[in-house]
Chain A
């Protein structure tokens, strides 16, 4: 089992979709409650993104740290790794944030997250007439397709 949890945040930071395949450390021992977990996770990704933009050694015309940024501006980050897990991150042009946590041994998942966005999310969620952009959703075809894709990647047994 390589994959652990998956989050989709809308551009305002609300969690639209959450799925966990395995979570060995219960949320109670981490953030406390599910809501807190979403908030902290979004905060972590948002601050990491701000940090990556501020540190970026290749952009000579950086804005001051904390200045408001447009979606997609500046340098973004692809993953962060600790001793026990790796967090993969993708921000879509519309500001949706896809966060996948896996085993630390998993390599780059940039293309895979891009595929989840373009071929699963857009096809099965964004084109679904019952979907209100920005709201939480729970669509069976999307969950099934996500599980199937994880299985083909070998991250889920």
Chain B
């Protein structure tokens, strides 16, 4: 059954800016999260370097046994990572349109937000949860009670 598990946002220098689970998941320690986010950032660079074809982007999708990890790199260097059930449809599209739009509207337009600082925006949280919650519910998967 398709489901969206969590969203991570990684800054231009590889730091974790935001992470949110949409379903109850086995917890990952915060320090591990930081390390995972920055190693993902680094591995995207290495993958582009090792590419047998010129002008490769970073990693866009990793398919593992039990999950898919979609990743979207914005032009300014921010990376969005979306953890989903394998073969969840439209996840890449969702990242690069709707989630990115929410980020622009509620995070970047916030006058108190500084680039590459941790994202603390109630509106962003609220709208993101509503959006992903609606998608998950459509697939019949429950939402975490906040």
Spell out A's residues near B (CB within 8 Å). Answer: 4-5, 20, 22-25, 29-31, 37, 40-41, 43-44, 47-48, 51-52, 54-62, 64-65, 75-85, 87, 101, 108
Known: A47-B39, A59-B26, A82-B56. Is A52-B62 also a contact (CB below 8 A)?
yes
Q: Interface extent on B, as a size class?
A: 35 or more
Contact of A75 among B40, B51, B65 (CB under 8 A): B65
Residues of chain A with a CB closer than 8 A to B124's CB:
none
Residues of chain A with a CB closer than 8 A to B36's CB:
51, 54-55, 65
CA distance A75 to B53 in the complex (A): 29
Least CB distance, A51 to chain B, in whole angstroms? 6
Known: A51-B40, A85-B52. Is A56-B67 also a contact (CB below 8 A)?
yes
Contact of A85 among B29, B46, B51 (CB under 8 A): B51
Task: Please name the residue on chain A nearest to B35 by beta carbon.
Answer: A65
Residues of chain A with a CB closer than 8 A to B88's CB:
none
Contact of B52 among A24, A43, A77, A108 (CB under 8 A): A24
On whether the beta carbons of A82 and B57 are closer than 8 Å, the reply is yes
User: B5 at the A/B interface (Cβ < 8 Å)?
Assistant: yes
Contact of B51 among A30, A43, A65 (CB under 8 A): A30
CA distance A58 to B83 in the complex (A): 12
* Other 5 A-B pairs with CB < 8 A, given A44-B43, A82-B58, A84-B54: A24-B53, A24-B54, A30-B50, A65-B35, A79-B61
Residues of chain B with a CB closer than 8 A to A65's CB:
29, 32, 35-36
On whether the beta carbons of B50 and A44 are closer than 8 Å, the reply is yes
Chain B residues 1-41 with CB under 8 Å of chain A are: 5-6, 23, 25-26, 28-29, 32, 35-36, 39-40
On whether the beta carbons of A81 and B59 are closer than 8 Å, the reply is yes
Residues of chain B with a CB closer than 8 A to A55's CB:
28, 36, 64, 67, 69, 83
